[in-house]
Amino acid sequence: AGQVYGVPLSGSLLIKPGVYPEQRPCNEDSRRKWAEALAQPNKRLRLLSEHVPHGYRRKSLFDVLTRCNVPLLRATWFVKVTYLNQPQVRPTSSSISTGASDNQRSNQWTKDVVEYLQQLLDEFNLKEAHPSFKEQPSAG
């Protein structure tokens, strides 16, 4: 209670149940610097949550987390914030509850992670099957 994904809620955030950090538009350089800061365990998520960048989706989201070596728990926090900020799908007659849109976002998150992991596995298998694709040490 009083926290969303490890970030303490304070002030106006306590008034609104289910509130999570909002993403803000920013340029590519700012997004890169923010992702690098996320990778540093000494940077507090509370401070980072004030300026969560907008613009990372699916593969680009996973790529930046991998490229910046963001620790798993911090990466999971960012992914959750990103998916929670996605526009909610309008409920259909068969799914009127708010939980339905959360379930759809959860399903989308699962699908995107599986697709990304499958892509990484395919690339790895391609390199293993074709040794010429492997990086060769330089003859120095």
The two structure tokens encoding residue 109: 């998150």
Q: What are phi and psi of 21, to 5 degrees?
A: -60, 135
Determine phi and psi for 30, rounding to 5 degrees.
-65, -40
Tens-place pLDDT, residues 31-56: 899 999 999 989 988 888 888 888 88
Angle value at C-alpha 15, between 107 and 72, nearest 5 degrees: 40
Note the pLDDT of residue 12.
53
Q: Which sign does the torsion angle of CA 8, 12, 17, 20 carry? A: negative
Full-model pTM? 0.62
- Residues 57-87 pLDDT 10s: 888 888 888 899 988 888 888 888 888 887 7
Q: Quote the Cα angle for 73-78-82, to 5°.
A: 145
Q: What pLDDT does residue 95 have?
A: 46
Position with higher pLDDT, 70 vs 15: 70
